[in-house]
Structure 1
Amino acid sequence: MFQGFHLNVRVLLVSCAFLSLSMGVAYPFLSEYIYSITGCVVVAGIVSSIRSLICMFFIVLGGFLADSVGRKKPIYVGTFLLGFSQLIYGLAGDFPSFVLAAVCEGISYFYFPAFNAMIMDSTAQNRLVNIFTLALIADHLPYTVAPVLGGFLRDSYGVLGLRFGFIFGGVITVLIALVRWFFLTETVSKVKGFNARMLFKAYTGVFKDFLGLSFLVRWLVLLRSFVLLFAVSMFYYYAVLYGVRYAGSVSFTGWGLIVAASSISYLAALPLANVVNRFKPALPYLFLILFEGLASLLFLLNTWMAFLVSMLLLNVCGALTYAIERTAVSRVTGQTMRGRAEGFMNLSFYFGATLGSLIGGYIYSLGPPLLIILTSTLLMVGAFLGFMLLKNFQDKFS
């Protein structure tokens, strides 16, 4: 599977798979974990929003650092902080301790721009759709196993079981940070040492950097922030509460099985990526997101089979849209700006996650089905907006 790939790509994808395997035990149940301890679904949304807000602040710095101090150092330092945050989650017992864990987790994600930029640097342009599809498979395929264990731990041992899951994930993630430090090689030829002036420059120049990006990247960031990822983040974060607590159709172990089984669909994304790669991106992007919008409505049937089919479709369509977006960014962005471009793309994810978890918590409290309907509506609107945006840049994919 990894034949002909640069060592950096192999290390990043394999370590990403093991990271997902370890974090996938407890992290998919984060909203349930916080709710069980605090007794308030809104608090679960606030904690997630704090994490996303912190991440938005540091992701800007991460994009700047990826283009200045290089790709490697942000990757292994951020991975270590991510592991430390999971350990804090495992020991948390009240709102302030959850906030501390969320802040640490939010800071850790500053390495994401460097992660994707290193993949771009280490991969030929004509292989990017396949590589980014494979990256998403490596990130999500371990969920065919890990959440089942997490659901079993929650049903069998309650909150204590999930505590163990978070601590296990934290320890393994710290070890992965060491692997990345040892095996990755820097792809930026001229790197600089970090200093306080960089911190100042990163934030004072954020609007200049954003305006310096391609028109396509700028509007893709806005579309993801306010529409697409707002919808997707809201749906995924509250799906476990909807399926187990509202619909009552599955147990926590059953939900873990649904997450695990639906993750297998990511394997279908790889051969489908070869099909998508034959077309200009606008039309596949339109239909993929429309399918996501329709798939989310299946949750209204309130059956375990509907949940499973919905998650299957959402996963495979999401993997392909992710690959299209990342390939588009690479096509219109030079190497010296890729870190910052990826910074803004990741920023859009966490801005959307902030809106989704915070507003989603309020919508869910009004009526869980309303959250499903809002998700579907936003995705369908976003599908047509994305089509119009990508249609103007078809020549970049020739």
Structure 2
Amino acid sequence: MTRNLLFVAKVFGLVLLLVGLVACQTTDAVVKDNSTDKSEPYIAPLKWQSTSFIPQDVPSTDDIFKLTAQQQEDFTKYYFAEKNAHIEEHERLYNYLEMILYGFDYRGDTYTASVALTKHSGNCLSLAILTAALVNLVDLDIRYQRVNTAPIYQRFHNVMTLSSHVRTFVFAPQTPLKKNEIVIARKKMIIDYFPEKGNVTGDYIDESQFISMFYQNLAGDSLVAKEYDLSYALLSKAMALNTQNPETLNTLAVLYKSLGDEASAERIYHYALNNTSGSVNILSNYALLLEEQGRQIELSEIQDKLNSVKDDNPYRWYDLANKHFDNDELTYALRYFKKSIKVAPYLHEGYFGAAKTYYQMGRTKLAKEFMDKAVELKFTPQDKVLYKAKSSVISVEH
């Protein structure tokens, strides 16, 4: 059964751990501090640390972006070459990346900037880290953005990984404004190593979240390999950057659950639900924990809470909907297929999911309408033929 799997979310180099569905929120984690502004609630620290893990050496944040002396020299020699002086700085960096990445092996390993450049391989997160390392050498401005892509699943025993994606923006240097001059938008280069039509842009993330992705990815890999001490050490680095990151908390909860410490996992889920924006991953993983413990009332409450969670990844809702569909929970399935459509109304998958759910409910007229929309949005000719075939079956039976 898919519900017995632990889910680990990656970002083509970004690993976030997922476990099941969420539990109901509690109020004891937020305590009012009368000595401060009453509009700012005091958040009680989460007791997530454990002394049962053996310390491990892991890369520092400086190590992640550090390049060798030769790598730095090669880049700056190109960047400041007289022959390139006529090219704007942000374009120069883009051109250098395009040149050095020829023949690059885009496999799924997460590397530091130096290792990625030495091995000439790495996933999209590794390449975003390399981009940031080069940007740091010439003091350009950079920004990071999540990109939601059609998920890639890999199963390892009771752990399933889910891949997503990240891209970078490198901006042109700011110049003094002339009199009466207004800048509407700064020029920039978008560096996206896997641009596809089905990609859906997500939230911008700050540097601490970006660096956390590095540690989360390696922690996820370590968890799959059952290297729990290393996974804990990596997550400790991520927690030092930001204790409010929902995906770091989710990964940490999965680690504890994998070790059989369900009490610690649940405590982390509660904290994340009370003090962060939450995520579908956290809710799903917590729900799985409740289901395994037979806590049906709390499970039902959490399934209801899922609908109010804000998540801009349509594929996450689509995946959740399919889990309910496979378990013949059609009401929930339809709800989350429609959430997927609401987030990304231009993707065909949500419409197809809603169509098959309406069909199972016996509501063939609505099934036909949603199937027709899926056919209209689908680009691949082979899939259009398949969808049209299914649509004709619905028409006949209607």
TM-score (norm 2): 0.24
Compare CA radii of gyration and give the structure with the larger one.
2
- The structure carrying a bigger strand percent of its residues is 2
Select the structure with the greater relative contact order (CA < 8 A; seq sep ≥ 6). 1
- Normalising by structure 1, we get a TM-score of 0.24
